[in-house]
Copies of this chain bind each other. A is one copy, B any other.
Amino acid sequence: MPKGEQTRRAILDHALEVATKEGLEGLTIGRLAQDLRLSKSGLFAHFGGKDELLLQVLETARTRFIERVVKPGLAARRGEPRVRALFESWLAWERSSSLPGGCPFIAAAIELDDRPGPARDYVVQSQKDWLEVIANSARTGIQEGQFRPDFDPEQFAYDLYGAMLSYHHVARLLRDPNADARVRRAFESLLARARRPHRAGH
C-alpha cells in the first residue's frame, strides 16, 4: 500500500472513532490535524474539505460494517443460523473497542435525518441495504421450511432493528447492566414467533 494511502486510512480510522463518540458534527479538519499532529493543509490535500471527509468516514464505516457484520452473517447456513449470525456479529460490532461510541450509523442517522445532502443520502442507502440484508436472510427461513409461510421478513427486519436500537439506547445512555439479556430475549421472542408452530414446541 502506498504511503499516502496508509496515511489516509490512519486518518479515517481516527476520524471514525471521533465520529462515534462526539458525532459527525465534532469532525473537523482542524480537530483531526490537532489529534494526529498533521498539518491542516496536508489533511485538505487528502480530503478537500469537511463534506468530502464526512463521506469518506461513512464509506470507511460501511466497508467495515460489511466486513464484520454482513459477511460473517451471510456465511452462515440459510434460515435461522444466518439470522442468528447476523444478530451476533451486529452485537460484536456495536460493542467493538474500535467504535467507542457504538454503531456509527445510529448516531449518523439521528444527526443527519434533517440535513439533506450527500452524507444523508449515503446513510439512507446504507441503512436500506442493512434492513434488506436482515429481511433477505430471514426470508431464507421460510424457504428452508423453518419459519411460518405467512412470516413477514420486512416486519422482522423492522422489529429486530428496533431491538438493536433499544440496545444502543439502554446500554450506552442508561448503562443498564441488563441490556445484553434484554436484547437477547427480544431476539429469541422474534425468532419464536417466526418459527412454524410444530417446531421446537412454540
Cβ contact of A174, chosen from B124, B152, B155, cutoff 8 A: B124
Q: How many residues on the A side are at the interface (Cβ–Cβ under 8 A)?
A: 43
Chain A interface, >50% SS class: helix
Interface 0/1 of A132-174, CB less than 8 Å to B = 0000000000000000000010110011011111100110111
Report the nearest B residue to A182, measured CB to CB.
B158
Interface 0/1 of A174-190, CB less than 8 Å to B = 10001000100110010
List residues of chain B with CB within 8 A of the CB of A191.
Answer: none
Which of A107, A155, A159 has its CB near the most chain B CB atoms (within 10 A)?
A: A159
If A100-B114, A159-B163 touch, does A173 touch B106 (CB 8 Å cutoff)? no
Counting every copy of the chain, the complex holds 2
B166 with A162: CB separation less than 8 A: yes
Check A193 for interface membership: any CB of B closer than 8 A. yes
Report the nearest B residue to A125, measured CB to CB.
B174
By a beta-carbon cutoff of 8 Å, the part of chain A in contact with chain B is 21-23, 25, 100-102, 106-107, 109-115, 120, 123-124, 127-128, 152, 154-155, 158-159, 161-166, 169-170, 172-174, 178, 182, 185-186, 189, 193
